[in-house]
Chains A and B, each alone.
Chain A
Amino acid sequence: MKNSEWKAVLRFIGTLLMAEGGLMALCCIPAVHFADGTLPQVGLCSAVTLAVGSLLRYRYRRFRDIRDKRMSYLLVVLLWIVLSFFATLPFLVTGATHSFSFAWFEAMSGFSTCGATIFPDVAALPSSILLWRSMMQWFGGFGIVLLVLALTPKLGINKYALYTAEASGADNAGGATVRTVVTVRRTLTVYLSLTLFFILLLLATGMEAWDAVNLTFTNISSGGFSINSDSIATLTALQQYILAGAMFFSGVNFTLLYLLFTLRWRRIGYKLDELRSYLLLCLAAIAFVVVALHTRSGLPWGDALRLGTVQTVSAMTTTGSVVADYTLWPVPVTFLLMMLALCGGMAGSTSGGLKTMRVLILFRNARAILHNRLHPNIVNPVRLNGRPVSGHITNNVMVIFLVFGGSLMLGVMGLMLCGVSPTEAIGASVGCLTGYGPGLGASGGFGCYAHFSSPALWFGTFLMLMGRLECMTLIILLLPRFWRK
């Protein structure tokens, strides 16, 4: 951890702050168009962020190399924190909220694509702020780090270490040996085309451009912020199904999508097992929810199908768009939604949670152990797409599973210590840790987190960061060994 490396980190942060300032500047457009009077404030925030960013970048322009593996972990965590800090500015300066805790929660929820909000009435916010919330999710959904790597491939830092810090390991379990930079480029291409495609699709249904852009931004990134107070409940059935499609794609591995779209069918083999279980799990869950909604809540089949499908996909991909107040649905259905959020979408997608790939490995490993107990001399490795997975990777997955489970338990207890009721604490920690967003009780459904105390909110942001960085990156910083020379 040399001094020069610290400076390189600062330069890196500066670059991203400039990008963030640029995005903020884009929020001036609706401020002018809708004339909501926030132009000077948002412009000021943008200018400050740009100024700080360019200052850092200029001051440390000669420091480029980060060789220490530890520095890349540190960089990732610092990035999220610093960017979220500057993202609070528009909320505070325009007076959307006056509490820093609130603004911080909202900013972190945006960049981590969580989607938990502290605004009870979103529709009353100025349009620039609304766009800023959507932008944060769109930007964060892709992962700031991935974005940076795609734009500056010749940066000279230990790219692989940086990449694994954010998407630790599981993605490589399938044996895909694509170079990181190529992966990142493809991911970006898919992301941009999907965004464009769904904006156009929504426009075709007669939605206004403003709504279409915002909703696509938040759903394709598996974020879940909305520009309406009732999330996506008041849209037409067709629009809701389209958004469900967007959410579904946000939970699929982007490299896989790239190969699919470019018609390279033969090369998708290495992801087939995960894709299959993602699809099957989705379908099975939808079937259960739809039947339960019809038989227990007495909804007609059409409504049950629509609400069930959209909400289940929203939970499975940890998006968190709400189509109906699911806290009023039968308890097993709510329970299932929370568990789906814990499972999450495919590895290498924008969704949060544990990821289907890991859950698949966990189950196959348990099965292999059972086999071994019945036939003690059998050699029976865990297989994925017909290839054996090394014990090293299996154990990695187990460790992440344990840390994830531990963080969840810690989250529930921490929130309860902050005075949140048990059921709501379970919901809120699932919501924050997985990036689903809304939880159970008053913070679930169309509700918001405004009634949480400040410590509880800070705890929530910690969980969001933990979930987005796949736990290990953050935990490693807390070890004394990390800081030792």
Chain B
Amino acid sequence: MRKLNYRLVARLAGLLTLTMAGGMVLPVAVSFYYGDGAQYALIFAALLMTAVGLFLRNLVGRHATYDLRERESFWITSVVWITVPLCGALPYLMTGTLGSFTDAAFESVSGFTTTGSSVIVHPEAIPQSVLMWRSMTQWIGGLGLILLVVALLRRLSGGSLKLYAAEFSGTQQKKLHPHIAKSVMRMWFIYSLITVVLITLLALAGNGWLDSVCLALSTVSTGGFMTAQYGLAGYSELTLNILTVFMFLSGVNVALLYNLFTLKWRRFKLNHEFVLYAVIFLLAALSCYVAFSIANGDFTIKNLEFSLFHIASTVSTCGFYTEGPVVWPFWASVVTFVLILSGACAGSTGGGIKLRRLMVLFLYMRNYMTRMVHPHVVFTIKIDHKVVPGDYVNKIFGFLFLYICFIIGGAFLLTMSGSSIADAFCLASANISNLGPSPLINSLGANLEYASLPLLSKWTLMGLMLAGRLEIFALLAIVSPAYWRRK
């Protein structure tokens, strides 16, 4: 078997680390502006990242050939997703925000995977610059680190498609442009544009600049890090409504948003997944509204706003929460739990199983049952008026099976470190779907305080977040014996 092209792997990992170091300019600037005293620690962290990056890129990765096959693509994906979050943990450690390495790594992994589970109990009390960095990690991770690589490295041309496929396994994306690098640039463009629009709107709604930026970065990436201990309870209703809209949007396929922006209505209209997404969102929000109102005895507009906010946060796997109605009806928990698992549209920044996969499965099951009665009927599955190949159905089945295995395995490890069975399942599913905190977990009696979880639980959750974000296969590929076997 051909040797692994490890120089290329190191070079790409180094390149991304250097980019992170460059990104540290922003928190450092914030730190000088607010005078929060963290500037020197941050500069030191940035220098360390630069050193690591230079080491990887220019020493290990010198003379790298750009010869990239399936093996390298999985390797790069996994290495990048481990190196970058580890480097991203440095600012927390250097500024002393988080004392232990585990905590810092947890916060960083949670950020880059856009999960939003936080071990920082009092976000108000930490330096503004660190808050800024925390939100930035989500934004960078939002579209996926590999998309960043593809955008940064035009030279990869042939290999970028393989890389792209390694990170987004089997959702059958349609490219925006025949040239993969160009279509990735378009995605980054629309992503940045939405971010800027949201920052402006939030600022106009009367929030401080830092707050607006942090919230916007968390929203568009469906991350969900919040800037206060008790969620978003302190923000105005207008702010929350703006967030509702943008959370909903960030659960939509980015390519589709680009079509919307460039006024290609026809392509937008024909997308069945989006229609399903919108319908599910509205139905869930309405049923929760009715449930909240009946349980609390008041049909107020506030309840409607809350249920829209809560469902948008769940369906896009963003994970914001705010002060809701006093009585939390059971129905809302059920809806939330189902939405956590089903997740957002494929190709969005959100997590979960993805609606596109569920659509294919649903159609397949329907056909299967008809075949039980009429054994000789032949079916094809069509989505967006295109036939889905049978091979693809099997892949989705496999994905779903592994997804459930990861939830069960994760829950088992969580019970090993002291969670009850119900809590373990909620924590595992909320983190593998990159949702993070959710009022559902609260209502089931689990603690929202990730800080107090034992060591084993934190590492388990980190593994789940990564597995969910990389859609399992990329992570499993490099640990499978088949990967290492010489043929």
Q: Which residues from chain B contact A375 at a C-beta distance below 8 Å?
A: 70
Report if A482 contacts B (CB, 8 A).
yes
Q: Given A373-B477, A423-B422, A482-B373, are A332 and B402 neighbors across the interface (CB < 8 Å)?
A: no
**In the complex the two chains form, what is the Cα distance from A307 to B82 in whole Å?**
43
A125 — which chain B residues lie within 8 A by C-beta? none
For the complex, what is the distance from the CA of A335 to the CA of B445, rounded to whole Å? 18
* A149, B425: Cα distance in complex, Å: 43
**A476 in contact with B70 (CB, 8 Å):** no
On whether the beta carbons of B412 and A336 are closer than 8 Å, the reply is: yes
A69-B373, A426-B421, A426-B422 known; A370+B473 contact, CB < 8 A:
yes
Residues of chain A in range 386-425 having any CB-CB distance to chain B below 8 Å: 391, 394-396, 398-399, 401-403, 405, 409, 413, 416-417, 422-423
Partner of B401, one of A338, A373, A374, A401: A401
Complex contacts, A383 vs chain B, CB 8 Å: none
Closest to A292 in B: B416
Please judge, given known A-B contacts A365-B398, A416-B330, A423-B421, whether A402 and B412 are in contact too, CB under 8 Å: no
Interface flag for A318 (CB, 8 Å): no
Query: Which A residues touch B445, using CB under 8 A?
Result: 422
Nearest-neighbor residue (CB-CB) of B170 within chain A: A373
Query: Chain B nearest CB: distance from A319 CB in Å?
Result: 21
Residue of B nearest to A336 (CB): B412
Residues of B417-458 whose CB lies within 8 A of A: 418-422, 424-425, 444-445
Give min CB distance, A246 to chain B, whole Å: 29
The yes or no answer to B375 lying at the interface (CB within 8 A) is: yes
Query: In the docked arrangement, what's the CA distance between A370 and B477, Å?
Result: 6
- Interface bits A356-395 vs B (CB < 8 Å: 1, else 0): 0000001001111111011110000000000000010011
Near B by CB (< 8 A), chain A positions 313-364 give 331-332, 334-336, 338-339, 362
Decide if B416 touches A472 in the complex (CB within 8 Å): no
- Of B50-58, B99-107, B364-372, the segment with at least 4 beta carbons within 8 Å of chain A is B364-372
Closest to B365 in A: A399
The answer to whether the Cβ of A185 comes within 8 Å of any Cβ in the partner chain is no
Flag whether A475 is at the interface (Cβ < 8 A). yes
Report yes or no: A391 in contact with B480, Cβ–Cβ below 8 A. no
Contact present for B373 and A70 (CB under 8 Å): yes
Most buried by A among B369, B372, B405: B372
Asked if B401 contacts A422 (CB within 8 A), the reply is: no
Name the one of A368, A374, A394, A422 contacting B477, with C-beta atoms under 8 angstroms. A374
Q: Which residues of B contact A33 (CB under 8 A)?
A: none
**Are A365 and B480 within 8 A (Cβ)?**
no
Bound form: Cα–Cα A475–B393 in Å: 21
Among A331, A371, A472, chain B packs the most CB atoms within 10 A around the CB of A331
Assuming the contacts A422-B444, A426-B422, asked whether A369 and B395 have C-beta atoms less than 8 A apart, the reply is yes
CB contacts (< 8 Å) of A422 on chain B: these are 422, 444-445
Closest A-chain residue to B480, C-beta based? A370
A399 to B370, CA, bound (A): 13
- 0/1 per residue, B395-419, Cβ < 8 Å to A? 1011111101100100110011011
Contact between B398 and A369 (Cβ–Cβ < 8 Å)? yes
B394 interface hit (Cβ, 8 Å): yes
- From residue 343 to 371 of chain B, which have CB atoms closer than 8 A to chain A? 361, 364-365, 368-370
Distance in angstroms from A38 CB to nearest chain B CB is 41
A335 touches B483 (CB 8 A): no
CB distance from A393 to the nearest CB of B (A): 12
Whether A402 lies near B70 (C-beta < 8 A) is no
Take A366-B402, A369-B395, A398-B397 as given contacts and tell me if A423 and B369 are in contact as well, using a CB distance cutoff of 8 Å.
no
> Residues of A contacting B473 with CB < 8 Å?
369-370, 373
A442-485 interface bits toward B, Cβ cutoff 8 Å, 1 = contact, 0 = none: 00000000000000000000000000000010011001011000
Q: Is the CB of A395 within 8 A of B480?
A: no
Contact A416–B334 (Cβ < 8 Å): yes
* Smallest CB separation, A95 vs chain B (Å): 36
- Are A475 and B369 in contact (CB-based, < 8 A)? yes
State A401–B398 Cα separation when bound (angstroms): 11
Once the chains are docked, how many angstroms separate the CA of A394 from the CA of B397? 10
Contact between A417 and B334 (Cβ–Cβ < 8 Å)?
A: yes
B191 proximal to A (CB < 8 A): no
Q: Find the B residue at minimum CB distance from A371.
A: B482
Residues of B within 8 A of A409 (CB): 338
A440 close to chain B: CB less than 8 A? yes
Residues of B within 8 A of A332 (CB): 412, 415-416
* B239: A residues at CB distance < 8 A: none
Contact between B397 and A395 (Cβ–Cβ < 8 Å)? yes
Q: Given A416-B330, A475-B369, A395 and B404 touching (CB < 8 A)?
A: no
In the bound complex, do residue A339 and residue B412 qualify as a contact, i.e. CB atoms below 8 Å apart?
yes
User: Which of chain B's residues has its CB closest to A479's CB?
Assistant: B369
CB of A404 to closest CB in B, whole Å: 11
* Other-chain residue from A335, A403, A413, A426 in contact with B334 (beta carbon distance below 8 A): A413
The minimal Cβ–Cβ distance linking B88 to chain A, given in whole angstroms, is: 28
Q: Mark B241-285, 1 if CB is under 8 A from A, else 0.
A: 000000000000000000000000000000000000000000000
CB-based contact A374/B334 at 8 Å? no
Expressed in whole angstroms, the minimum distance between the Cβ of A394 and any Cβ of chain B is 7
With the chains together, A409 CA to B70 CA distance in Å?
37
A424–chain B nearest beta-carbon distance, Å: 9
Do A331 and B330 touch across chains, with their CB atoms under 8 A apart?
A: no
Chain A: CB-nearest residue to B395:
A369
Which residues on the A side are within 8 Å of B182 (C-beta)?
A: none
CA distance A134 to B390 in the complex (A): 47
Q: Which residue of A lies closest to B418 (CB)?
A: A331
Q: Are A391 and B483 in contact (CB under 8 A)?
A: no
B309 at the interface (CB under 8 A from A): no
Chain B's closest residue to A368 (CB) is B398
Q: How far is the CA of A327 from the CA of B411 in the complex (A)?
A: 17
B369 contact from A370, A398, A413, A481, Cβ within 8 A? A481
Could you tell me the distance between the alpha carbons of A383 and B405 in the complex, rounded to whole angstroms? 21
| B74 in contact (CB, < 8 A) | yes
Complex CA gap A189/B397 in Å reads 38
> What residue in chain A is nearest B474 (Cβ atoms)?
A373
List of B residues within 8 angstroms of A338 by Cβ: 421
Q: Known contacts being A331-B421, A335-B415, A374-B74, is A395 close to B394, with CB within 8 Å?
A: yes
CA distance A338 to B422 in the complex (A): 13
Instruction: Flag if B372 contacts A476 (CB, 8 Å).
Output: yes
Bound-state CA distance A73–B369 (Å) is: 12
Interchain CB contact under 8 A, B404 and A405? yes
One of B71, B370, B419 near A481 (C-beta < 8 A): B370
Contacts of A423 in B (CB 8 A): 420-422
Task: Determine which of A374, A399, A475, A479 lies in contact with B482 in the assembled complex, contact meaning CB atoms within 8 Å.
Answer: A374
A335 to B423, CA, bound (A): 12
Which residues from chain A contact B424 at a C-beta distance below 8 Å? 335
Whole-angstrom CA separation of A475 from B373 in the bound complex:
12
Whether A481 contacts B373 by the Cβ 8 Å rule is: yes
Residue from A334, A373, A401 whose CB has the most chain B CB atoms within 10 Å: A373
Minimum CB–CB distance from B112 to chain A (whole Å) comes to 23
Q: Do B425 and A426 touch across chains, with their CB atoms under 8 A apart?
A: yes
State in angstroms the CA–CA spacing of A395 and B394 once bound together. 7
Q: Which of A334, A366, A394 has the most chain B CB atoms inside 10 A of its CB?
A: A366
A-B contact sample (6 more), CB < 8 A, given A373-B169, A398-B397: A69-B373, A331-B415, A373-B473, A374-B477, A399-B364, A402-B400
15 residue pairs of the A-B complex, CB under 8 angstroms, read A331-B421, A335-B411, A366-B398, A369-B395, A369-B398, A370-B473, A370-B482, A391-B390, A394-B394, A399-B364, A399-B365, A399-B368, A402-B400, A472-B369, A481-B370
By Cβ-Cβ distance, the 10 closest A-B pairs, closest first, are: A422-B422, A398-B397, A369-B398, A331-B415, A332-B415, A423-B422, A366-B398, A332-B416, A335-B415, A413-B334
Interface residues, chain A, with chain B CB atoms under 8 Å away: 69-70, 73, 331-332, 334-336, 338-339, 362, 365-371, 373-376, 391, 394-396, 398-399, 401-403, 405, 409, 413, 416-417, 422-423, 426-427, 440, 472, 475-476, 479, 481-482
Q: Show the binding face of B for A, using Cβ within 8 Å.
A: 70-71, 74, 169, 330-331, 334, 337-338, 361, 364-365, 368-370, 372-373, 375, 390, 393-395, 397-402, 404-405, 408, 411-412, 415-416, 418-422, 424-425, 444-445, 473, 476-477, 480, 482-483
